[in-house]
Amino acid sequence: MLEHVSPLVGFSNLAEYLEIANQSTPMKTLRSFAELAHAFERNGKQMHIDMAAAMKTSAIALVAEIKAEFEQGAGEPGNWAELKEATKAERARKEIPEDVPLAGSGVLRDSIQYRSTDMSLSVVSDSEVARYQEFGTPTIPPRALLVPALHRAIPNILNTVGKTIEQSLAGEK
């Protein structure tokens, strides 16, 4: 299983999700560590629930973005090694556009899933092809998609998590 540690219900894409997630929320100021400890004590159980929802939403958004890259030809193809002539010929025979490097049957795209808890999120695939694409083999150069997508998403995930913690501690959720 290929796994990288890191429902989009109601969102059509990552940009829409981020527009909502990045709206500023005024932060409640706590005046002492005792007040902070009290906030954790008062809201601790709810924070776990809120964090689980934040991680799940972030994971779903990340998976949606990765799957969209299969269709749009995005990702990091500028850093990828050129396809072998036999691969180019096979893609031409199947009428797969050259500018969409990961297009094909959809099996690889559909194998990408997420896992999340209240403290983590993972993007996973049980496809051996995903491992070959991401890390390469002795005869196939790596064409990473999951790791670069995760790296691009980290600032947004941290923002979502930070806002969730702020809102939970303030008792707003």
Residue 28: inside a domain: no
- Residue 125 pairs with which residues in a beta bridge? 2, 112
**pLDDT tens-digit map of 108-153:** 888 899 999 888 888 888 888 888 888 888 987 887 788 888 888 8
**pLDDT tens-digit map of 45-92:** 888 888 899 999 999 989 988 888 776 655 555 566 677 788 788 878
Residue 84: inside a domain: yes
Residue 165: inside a domain: yes
Ramachandran quadrant class, 106 (left: phi over 0; alpha: psi -120 to 50; beta: rest): left
Residue 125: inside a domain: yes
- Rounded to whole angstroms, the Cα distance separating 39 from 27 reads 13
- Residue-number span of the structural domain to which 134 is assigned: 2-20+33-169
Cα 15 to chain centroid, rounded: 12
Q: Assign 153 to helix, strand or coil.
A: helix
- Rounded to whole angstroms, the Cα distance separating 62 from 152 reads 9
User: Considering its fold, how many domains does the chain have in total?
Assistant: 1
Q: Assign 30 to helix, strand or coil.
A: coil
Residue 135: inside a domain: yes
